[in-house]
A = this chain, B = another copy of it.
Amino acid sequence: MFEQLGLIGCGLMGGSFALALKNAGLVQRVVGFSPSAATLQKALQLGVIDAPAASPEQAACGADIVLVAVPVSATEATLQWIAPAVTKQMLIMDVGSTKADVLAAGQRALGERIGSFVPAHPIGGKEKAGVEHADTKLYQGCQVILTPTAETLDPQRQQALTVWQALGCKVVQMSPEAHDAAFAAVSHFPHLLAFALMNAVTGQPQGQEFLSLAGPGFRDFTRIAASDPKVWRDILLSNCQQLLVQSQHLQTQLQAFEALMVQGDGAALEALIARASSARSQWHLKQHHHPKPAC
A residues at B contact (CB < 8 Å): 73, 123-124, 127, 142-143, 145, 172, 181-183, 185-187, 189-204, 206-207, 209-230, 232-234, 236-237, 240, 243-244, 246-247, 249-254, 256-258, 261-262, 264, 266, 269-277, 279-281, 283, 285-286, 293-295
Contact = CB atoms under 8 A, between A and B. Distances in A.
A228 B274 CA distance: 8
Number of copies: 2
B277 A196 contact: no
Contacts of A194: 221, 276, 280
Given A123-B215, A187-B214, A195 B295 contact: no
Contact of A202 (B143, B221, B279): B279
Contacts of A124: 215-216
B198 A276 contact: yes
Nearest to A251: B251
Contact of A221 (B223, B246, B257, B262): B223
30 contacts: A124-B216, A172-B213, A182-B210, A183-B213, A185-B207, A186-B210, A186-B213, A190-B221, A193-B193, A195-B257, A196-B257, A197-B253, A198-B277, A201-B279, A202-B279, A211-B279, A211-B283, A215-B285, A215-B295, A216-B294, A219-B285, A220-B224, A221-B224, A225-B276, A227-B273, A227-B277, A233-B269, A237-B269, A247-B258, A251-B251
